[in-house]
Amino acid sequence: MPEQKDANADRRTPTAEDLRKQVLEREMEEMDRERKLKSIEEQKHADFAADFLKKHVTEEEIAMVRRLVANAVKAGKFEAMVYSFPSELCTDSGRAINSGDRDWPSTLQGKAKEFFERYQTFGKPQGYKLKAMIISFPGGMPGDVGLFLNWAPEKV
C-alpha cells in the first residue's frame, strides 16, 4: 500500500518573521494608498483654489444658484446656501466671518468677492439678504465658508 503524504506537509509553517513581514507589507501598501489619495485631494484643492482666485463666476454657476434657490422655495424655505469655499481663501482665513465682523465682505477674494458684488448689484436692491458662516471646523479650526441667500420677510 502506498504511503499517504500529509497534504499540508509540503507547506511550510510561516515563521513569526514571515508574519511580521506580511503585516509590514500591508501597512506599507495602505500608507502608499493613503499618500496617493492625499496627493489627489491636494491637487483637487489646488485646482479649485486656482479656479476660485483667477477665474470669473460662470453662467453655469449663476444658473446653479438659481436652481438652489428654486429648490429651497419648493421645499418651503426662505434661505439657501448658494456657494461654499475653503476659509483659507479669505484674506484672514475666515476670522472675520467666524467672529461676525461687519466688515467680513472685505476679506473675500476671487469668485466669493464676485458673488458678493453681484449680490450688492442685483440681489440686495431686490430685497435679498446675504450672510456668510463657517460651516465646518476640522480640527477645531475654521474650514469651509458658506454663503447663504435669504428672502425671508422682515420681522415686525
Residue-wise pLDDT for 108-143, tens only, equals: 999 999 999 999 999 999 999 999 999 999 999 999
Give yes or no for residue 6 having a pLDDT over 90: no
In a domain, 1, yes or no: no
For residues 136-153, one letter each, b for 16 or more C-beta atoms within 10 angstroms of the residue's C-beta and e for the rest, the string is eeeeeebbbbbbbbebee
Name the 3-class secondary structure at 148: strand
Task: Indicate whether 48 and 76 sit together in one domain.
Answer: no
Whether the CB-CB separation of 123 and 75 falls below 8 Å is answered with no
Backbone angles phi, psi at 80, to 5 degrees: -145, 140
Give yes or no for residue 73 having a pLDDT over 90: yes
- What pLDDT is attached to residue 154? 86
Task: Indicate whether 36 and 100 sit together in one domain.
Answer: no
* pTM score of the predicted model: 0.75
Task: Indicate whether 77 and 144 sit together in one domain.
Answer: yes
3-state helix, strand, coil in the chain (%, to 5): 55, 15, 30
The domain in which residue 37 lies consists of 15-54
In a domain, 9, yes or no: no
Task: Indicate whether 129 and 88 sit together in one domain.
Answer: yes
Task: Indicate whether 39 and 62 sit together in one domain.
Answer: no
In a domain, 33, yes or no: yes
Query: How many structural domains comprise the chain?
Result: 2
